[in-house]
A and B are shown apart, each in its own frame.
Chain A
């Protein structure tokens, strides 16, 4: 089993729909992140969480919300999806020492 698991792996949704992307990890890391990847732009940070009670906005948080349900679970929601949110989304975790960082397999989201 993967250390960081994202569900779903692929999703097509309609404009205006609410959608949730889920992430779970078995690394025991406190720190979790959500990124989106667009061609030519690398990865950009949406939200990050240092522990269950800590949520922080990243570079591009508008239109997104997150929930840290447990140390191992961090979900990303699009309240009302729009086409320019079509992207590859990654969840990541890291340890306190800062030398390890692991990514999920990615969720390819298409908003039509």
Chain B
């Protein structure tokens, strides 16, 4: 079974609007971490935001926020005020287990295109 599901292969958003990228995960562990990465066309993987399973507040980093709904096992990324430079692939990832760092599991990614 897929550990990380990203159901949107591609998304379009108008510049300056907000967009939500979906991510659902599957784990039986109580301790886990959720990450979002951005991969522009140049190929590097850029860390955006992190949410721990015990964090009570939703994570925010500038224009990025993570809508964490633990009971639903979802960790959607919200990008506010989209910019042309936000066009990229976005990957949701999970690290699970008490032994942090054992493995990252990645979703297949969502390609976001920001329209002028």
Residues in chain A within 8 A of chain B (CB atoms): 31, 33, 35, 40-45, 48, 50, 58, 88, 90, 92, 94-106, 108
Residues of B in contact with A, size category: 20 to 34
Knowing A43-B91, A43-B106, A58-B103 are in contact, say whether A99-B44 is a contact too (CB < 8 A): no
Q: Are B104 and A41 in contact (CB under 8 A)?
A: no
**Pairwise interchain contact B104-A33, C-beta atoms closer than 8 A:** yes
A108 adjacent to B43 (CB under 8 Å): yes
Instruction: Tell me the bound Cα distance from A41 to B37 in angstroms.
Output: 15
B101 touches A103 (CB 8 A): no
Asked whether, in the complex, the Cβ of A92 is within 8 Å of the Cβ of B104, the reply is yes
Q: Which of B100, B102, B107 is A42 in contact with, Cβ under 8 Å?
A: B107
Task: Tell me the bound Cα distance from A33 to B47 in angstroms.
Answer: 15
Q: Let me know if B45 and A106 touch, CB within 8 A.
A: yes
By secondary structure, the B interface counts as: strand
The reply to whether B104 and A90 form a contact with Cβ atoms under 8 Å apart is no
Return chain B residues, CB-CB under 8 Å to A105: 43-44
Given contacts A42-B91, A99-B50, A101-B35, contact A106 B44 (CB under 8 A): yes
B100 engages A101 (CB within 8 Å): no
Could you say which residues of chain A place their CB within 8 Å of the CB of B47? Answer: 100-103
CA distance A55 to B47 in the complex (A): 25
Give the residue of A88, A99, A102 whose beta carbon is less than 8 angstroms from that of B52.
A99
Interface flags for B31-46 (1: CB within 8 Å of A; 0: not) read: 0010101000001111
The 8 A CB mask of B68-111 against A (1 = contact, 0 = none) is: 00000000000000000000000101010000111111111100
Chain B residues, CB < 8 A from A41: 108
- Cβ–Cβ contact A101 & B95, under 8 A: yes
* CB-CB nearest in chain A for B99: A50
